[in-house]
Structure formats: C-alpha cells, structure tokens
Amino acid sequence: MTAPLQRPKRKNPVVKTRHPTLPPWTRSRVALGMTAAAAEGRFELQRCEQCATVQYPPREACCRCLSEELPWVEIDGLGDLISQTTLLHSHDLYFRERVPWRLGMVRLDAGPTVVVHLHGDVTAPPARVRVACKLDKAGMAVLVGFPQEDVPNMADDRQLREFTCDPKFRRVFVTDGKTATGQAVVRALAAAGAELIWVGHAEPWKRVPGLVDLQALPQVTLLPLDVTDPRSIKEVASQVGPKVDILVNTAEYHRAYGISTRAGTDIARMEMDVNYLGLLRLAQEFGPVMKARGADGQSSAVAWVNLLSIFALSNFPAHGTYSASKAAALSLAQCLRAEMKPAGVRVINVFPGPIDDEWNQLLPPPKLSPQAVANAIVAALRDGLEDVYPGDVAQEWRTRLKESAKGFERELAAGSGT
C-alpha cells in the first residue's frame, strides 16, 4: 500500500538543483486526438465505423479493415494486467533520474493491449486494473494503470505525482483574495493539504468581507498585490516567487457592458489592464523563476492556473468588453503554456459559466457558486488537466461550439445563449 506522503524536508543548499527534463514527447498528428481528450480528463481511443474495432496506438486507417472512418470514443479503461516490469536503468534523461519505474501491459476489455505506467498499489499479474489517460510532463497523453478500486493514499504514489499537480504539501500563490471566488479557492487549497498559501489583495486599506477569516487559516499569509502595478508584482515576486509551486490567478475585473451601452473606454481599459495585462505582468515576473524550478524534487513548480470564463470562447454581447478581455487572456495563456512546457509546468485554463456574484445578478440560473469553481480548480490540479469547464452553462457552450461555432454566435447575438 502506498505510504502517506511526508512533508518535504528543507532543501540542502549544497545539493545541485536538477534542470527540468521532459519524457519522450514526439507524437503523430493522429495521436494528438488522444492528448486532446486527456487534457479534459477523458480516455478516448479510435473505433472503426465499419467493423467496430477499437485500436491502439492511433492510426490513420483501421488495423483490421483499413477504413479511414475512425471517430474517437470514450473508453471505461477496465482490463487485465497480463505482465509487468520495473525499469532500473534508462538512457533517457527524464527516466534516468526517476528510476525505479514500474510498467505493465494491460489487455483492455475494449480490445487492444496497451503499455501503461503502473500505480504502486496495482498487484502483480494477473490482476484487474483500471486504465486512465493522463498528461505527462511534456503535455502528451500517456496511459496509467490503477487498482480497480480506490485505496488509501492513492494520490501520494510517487509515479502518479509526475502526472498530476496535487496541491498536497505544495506552496501556492493565489493572486486575489478579495473576491468570494478567490477566498473559496484559498479555503479549498487549504483543505487539500497545501503547505503554504500566499494570498494577494489590492487596496489593503479596504475592509473586505471574509479576508480576516482567511488570514486566520494557519497556512495563509496575505500580501499586498495590485496586478495593474508592475512594481507591486515585482516586489511580491522577489519575496515569494522562488518558493511558489502553484500559481492560481484569480484576479479579474468584470463589468456587464457591451459596446453601445456606455460611452468611453475607461471600463474596457480596466478590464484589459487586469484580465489581460495583469496576466502578462504576472507571467513576466513569476514565469521565469517557476520554469527554473520545474524539476526541484518534491517541491517542484508544477502548475499555473488561470481563472478565465466561458465567455472567452465566444463573445457574450451583454458582457461584451469583459468577454473580449478574457479572450485576449486565453490567447496569452496559450502562449504561456507553450513557454512553460520545456520546464514541465502545466498551465491550466478554467472556463466557468456565470458565477453567482455581483456582476451576474441579472443572468438567470443556473449559476456557479464560488465554492463550485474552487472545487473544480482543486480537482483539475489533482487530475493534472489542462482545460476545465465547470458548470452546466460552460458544458453546454462547449458542446454547442463544437457543433457549430457560427450558429452559436448567431444564437448569442439573438440573446438565447444562456
């Protein structure tokens, strides 16, 4: 049984800092369909439309009938472990630093036989296992074999933590603790076992409801931070940047306006200054130091979380300029993901539907509670996801955009999108 994870010891300053390395990551274009599903927490394989064969690895033609009609379908992952081995030596730099490493072969109930990374609690073959698709440090899909039933301390497995960003015993920086959502995120991270949580808050002279209760949590330290002020970000980054394992950017400015419903550009400029330029300033100060710590043992920098909005994917005219600022932030987050990839630091984008807050009062239900958003963020960290769509509205938007992005744009313009 997996032993409980222990609090990491203070790092010996004489010991070398390991440079980040990535596992082998070259994949075919076809195989990226598997990666796209894993980024959202699904295990999908190709199934032939003609003969119903489920195949692995992904190919451009069916391995049985050569049909090219190969849609991706979700697989439950159940199967039989038929063999296993433990890697004790490797010429690959990534695995060389992490051996011993356990691997196995699983015959899936769906048909194909696959090679998987084995969780430490999987018993020797023959055994029933559950295979899931995860993202490795290179951001590519890999298969992991788990015990069929959950066991104690399952998330603490050494190999599994290479594929996840579990906040347990990690140090987290939440950029804005003034909002109900930011405060819910801090409490959820504390409950998930985060060792230290630094919480930024602009305008510290204001008495924000809930901030005093937040400060009473033993893991929490409040830091003055204004994401519109480069000097403020630089000072905080110099103070805690080299210690941050997970950064959660909850800072946002939201007003319910379109284009013709107000004069001037002051509100739109502020939305861009916080939602887009704020992210850029944070990335410029915290990004390089987190990249340098991408392989720093148990206390490695592992994740950057951006609280975006489902409105970033298609403009919601009633919140038009806010939607535009979140779309800009999404584009920047994709750039950040590409730049953080060489260090193995995962960039997680969260696209919630309308949150039950001040600026969504006039939107009809369903709306997300701040706690629901916080729970989704912690779950994404534990599962090592890249894109998360919390709530019914976000899930519906995601589905309808896949069906017809242009048709859905017309529906939103007519006021029937939510």
Residue boundaries of the structural domains of the chain: 33-43+71-162, 171-413
Strands (E) in 206-302, as ranges, are: 220-224, 246-249
CA-based nearest residue to 293, from 11, 9, 63, 5: 11
Is the distance from CB of 295 to CB of 18 less than 8 angstroms? Answer: yes
And the tokens for 144? 């992991």
Q: Strand, helix or coil at 201?
A: strand
**CATH for 171-413?**
3.40.50.720
And the tokens for 352? 């919630």
Between CA 342 and CA 361 the distance in angstroms is 42
Between CA 185 and CA 180 the distance in angstroms is 9
Sign of CA dihedral 301, 238, 189, 374: negative
> Which sequence positions are flagged as catalytic?
322, 326
- pLDDT at residue 292 in the model: 92
- pLDDT at residue 266 in the model: 94
Is the distance from CB of 240 to CB of 173 less than 8 angstroms? Answer: yes
Write down the number of H helices and E strands in the chain: 11, 15
Q: Which residues are CB-contacts of 341 (< 8 A; sequence separation ≥ 6)?
A: 22, 138, 139
- pLDDT at residue 192 in the model: 97
Distance of CA 78 to the CA centre of its chain: 25
Residue with tokens 């979380």: 305
- pLDDT at residue 261 in the model: 81
- pLDDT at residue 91 in the model: 92
Is the distance from CB of 44 to CB of 33 less than 8 angstroms? Answer: yes
- pLDDT at residue 38 in the model: 97
Is the distance from CB of 202 to CB of 176 less than 8 angstroms? Answer: yes
Between β-strands 171-174 and 72-74, what pairing exists: parallel, antiparallel or unpaired? unpaired
- pLDDT at residue 417 in the model: 57
Is the distance from CB of 307 to CB of 352 less than 8 angstroms? Answer: yes
Strand partners, 101: 87
Distance of CA 319 to the CA centre of its chain: 25
Query: Residue 160: what are its φ and ψ, rounded to 5°?
Result: -60, -35
Start-to-end C-alpha separation, the chain: 47
Between CA 260 and CA 262 the distance in angstroms is 6
Sign of CA dihedral 189, 185, 275, 215: negative
pLDDT tens-place values along the chain, 418 residues long: 677 877 777 766 666 677 889 998 888 899 999 999 999 999 999 999 999 999 999 999 999 999 999 999 999 999 999 999 999 999 999 999 899 999 999 999 999 999 999 999 999 999 999 999 999 999 999 999 999 999 999 999 999 999 999 999 999 999 999 999 999 999 999 999 999 999 999 887 778 888 889 999 999 999 999 999 999 999 999 999 999 999 999 999 999 888 988 889 999 999 999 999 999 999 999 999 999 999 887 778 999 999 999 999 999 999 999 999 999 999 999 999 999 999 999 999 999 999 998 888 888 899 999 999 999 999 999 999 999 999 999 999 999 999 999 999 999 998 765 6
The H or E element containing residue 208 is: none
Q: Which residues are CB-contacts of 109 (< 8 A; sequence separation ≥ 6)?
A: 76, 78, 79
Is the distance from CB of 315 to CB of 324 less than 8 angstroms? Answer: yes
CA-based nearest residue to 386, from 343, 351, 354: 351
For the question of whether the overall pTM of this predicted structure is more than 0.85, the answer is: yes
CA-based nearest residue to 306, from 325, 335, 279: 279
- pLDDT at residue 257 in the model: 84
Q: Which class is domain 33-43+71-162? A: mainly beta
CA-based nearest residue to 170, from 154, 192, 153, 199: 192
